[in-house]
Amino acid sequence: MNCKVEKTKNANELKLEITIEAEKFDNAIKKVYFQNAKYFNIPGFRKGKAPQNIVEKYYGKEIFYEDAFNDIASDEYEKAIEENKLEVVSKPNIDIVTMEKGQDLVFTAIVQTKPEVKLGKYKGIEIEKIEYNVEEKDIEDELKQMQEKNARVISIETPVENGNIAVIDFEGFVDGEPFEGGKAENHSLEIGSGAFIPGFEEQIIGMKIDDEKDINVKFPDEYFSKDLAGKDATFKVKVHEIKKKELPELDDEFAKDVSEFDTIKELRNSIKERLEKRSKDKEKYEKEQAIMKGLINELEVDIPSGMIELEIDNMVKDMEQRMSYQGLKLEQYLTMLNKTEEEFRKEYEPQAVEAIKSRLALENVIEKEKIEATDDEIKEKVEEMAKNYGRDAEELQKNENLKKYIKQGIESEKAIDILMSNSKEKKVSEKKESKKA
């Protein structure tokens, strides 16, 4: 294989002309023939027994070219990239120059390469002070949720009050006609939950068991169903049962029932510790995000279009995988959103650009600070991963791609630590403090 590399008129773009020896291409054709011979049915020969030259004469000599090209070109392209030490950041744009049996296979690949980056200031980045304090109210809210979760629901005879659960039949009408999804029987509705259209739940208050009532409401202008958005509706409602929640007392017995603690004091302390850790983690995350934003604001880089497309590809694949856990396919999701795939991908572009800038900026910090992940650090992370996922550590240690990924992660973390330790916090202005509150 021979490869000639030349720059194009476009920035960060190269043209590779790759030549593969005729013998290699002919061998690839033979390989494809043997893989597919069983499918050919030619008069005078048993199915799958016709010689290669007969098949080529019957169907045309080019019949195996495309598959042979696909079989051989990908590996040779990767070798060319590796041998020329190119940092390619896009899919190749392939054009076949010569493809003929008995001749050298010649094709070109236009690729985009990693752009040059001017980092700018990366030490002393100013960020607004970020602080989340745990208040007594936060602890009380957590305890209240635990109370709600462990509440006992009992039937009552009194009229519906806010916070009660009303078991109702309802049917909705717009312009005197029932609409799809507007009918249910024995539906449990917690009054005040905001689960129904604004104004519906409030009109249930005061109703008694077996009461029937017409409830008049208006669908919000931004309602998900365009057929109903902004329209007046009447719901015929009947109450079958009224329930209320009885909350348990917040005492030592409650603590024993819902946790591993013996006293309510210990439970409170545990909640406080957990909330404080969550707050610290949130502070750290938001500080890192603010620092990275400051870092990429100082960055000067011209990102190739192919690099952005690849980043969006990865984001969409990740989205598809997460949707598959819910039994959804991308096509279904796009139909629900009433969007084309092109529109969907376009929405990801700003996020993709920011992710690329962050990665390029960190790589430059790593280079400038001469940051390296040690073998021991990589080994420790691999062992931790093996333990978390129930895998064999020795087997994972043989995976060079995984180790490379872990190495990059460790070095990025070290770079962020340097940025964090050298950043400066400034007090939030009173105007912004008020908005945050």
Please give the Cα distance from 188 to 166 (Å, whole number). 6
What stretches of 113-255 adopt beta strand conformation (E)?
A: 117-118, 126-128, 152-156, 165-174, 177-190, 212-218, 232-246
Tell me the H-state helices in 109-160. Answer: 136-149
pLDDT in tens, the chain (437 residues): 899 999 999 999 999 999 999 999 999 999 999 999 988 989 889 888 999 999 999 999 899 999 999 999 999 999 999 999 999 999 999 999 999 999 999 999 999 999 999 998 899 999 999 999 999 999 999 999 999 999 999 999 999 999 999 999 999 999 999 999 899 999 999 999 999 999 999 999 999 999 999 999 999 998 888 889 999 999 999 999 999 999 999 999 999 999 999 999 999 999 999 999 999 999 999 999 999 999 999 899 999 999 999 999 999 999 999 988 888 888 888 888 888 999 999 999 999 999 999 999 999 999 999 999 999 999 999 999 999 999 998 898 889 999 999 999 999 999 999 999 999 988 765 444 444 43
pTM over 0.85: no
SS3 content of the chain, % helix, strand, coil (to 5): 50, 20, 30
Q: What is the predicted pLDDT for the residue at 5?
A: 96
What is 277-436's CATH number? Answer: 1.10.3120.10
CA angle at residue 43 from 40 to 46, to 5 degrees? Answer: 60
For 121, list phi and psi in degrees, rounded to 5: -70, 130
Q: Given the structure tokens 């005879």, which residue do they identify?
A: 157
Please give the Cα distance from 373 to 353 (Å, whole number). 27
* Burial degree of 402 (CB within 10 A; 0-12, 13-18, 19+): middle
Please give the Cα distance from 182 to 166 (Å, whole number). 17
- Please name the residues in contact with 411: beta carbons below 8 A apart, sequence gap of 6 or more: 366, 371, 372, 373
**CATH architecture designation of domain 152-246:** Roll (3.10)
- Per the DSSP assignment, residues forming a β-bridge with 128 are 426
Please give the Cα distance from 432 to 437 (Å, whole number). 8
Q: What is the predicted pLDDT for the residue at 429?
A: 55
Nearest to 291 by CA among 129, 55, 57: 129
**CATH architecture designation of domain 2-114:** 2-Layer Sandwich (3.30)
Sequence spans of domains, the chain: 2-114, 152-246, 277-436
- Per the DSSP assignment, residues forming a β-bridge with 88 are 113
- Per the DSSP assignment, residues forming a β-bridge with 110 are 15, 93
Average pLDDT, the chain: 92
Q: What is the predicted pLDDT for the residue at 120?
A: 86
What stretches of 88-164 adopt beta strand conformation (E)?
A: 93-98, 105-112, 117-118, 126-128, 152-156
